[in-house]
Amino acid sequence: GENVEQHPSTLSVQEGDSAVIKCTYSDSASNYFPWYKQELGKRPQLIIDIRSNVGEKKDQRIAVTLNKTAKHFSLHITETQPEDSAVYFCAAKGNTDKLIFGTGTRLQVFP
């Protein structure tokens, strides 16, 4: 069935460093890839998304890259700040129009 794998499960960085989270998907028909940030006890919130006709998208300190051939996509956060600390989820929407989420990455940014 459809599957999204996400790595790493935890990531600790120093403030100002970059953070990279990677996801792979199984459904080659997937065409929409959002990233959600979830702070403790709060709802997931969309931070960036990319569609399959684009290879890269950037929004200030956040960027997402997509490699359709390899079926993987990555989230890049530059100049990390303590408020970036949260759990990040990738997701993929494929043929069934269902969003399949990854297992999450807990990012900790130390001041």
Partner 1 sequence: EAGVAQSPRYKIIEKRQSVAFWCNPISGHATLYWYQQILGQGPKLLIQFQNNGVVDDSQLPKDRFSAERLKGVDSTLKIQPAKLEDSAVYLCASSLSDGGYEQYFGPGTRLTVT
| Residue 16 C-beta: closest distance to partner 1, Å | 28
Question: 84 or 93, CB closer to partner 1?
Answer: 93
3-state SS, one letter per residue, for the chain: CCCEEEECCEEEEECCCCEEEEEEECCCCCCEEEEEEECCCCCCEEEEEEECCCCEEEECCEEEEEECCCCEEEEEECCCCHHHCEEEEEEEECCCCCEEECCCEEEEEEC
CB of 67 to partner 1, least distance (A): 19
**Buried-exposed string 88-104: b where 16+ CB fall within 10 A, e elsewhere:** bbbbbbbeeeebbebeb
Binding site for partner 1 (CB under 8 A): 4, 6, 31-32, 34, 36, 42-46, 49, 51, 89, 91, 93, 96-104
Residue 94 or 109 with smaller CB distance to partner 1: 94
**What is the nearest approach in angstroms of partner 1 to the Cβ of residue 9?**
9
Name which of 91 and 109 has its Cβ closer to partner 1: 91
Our CB check for partner 1 shows the closer of 15 and 54 to be 54
Supply the minimum distance, in Å, between the C-beta of residue 68 and partner 1: 15
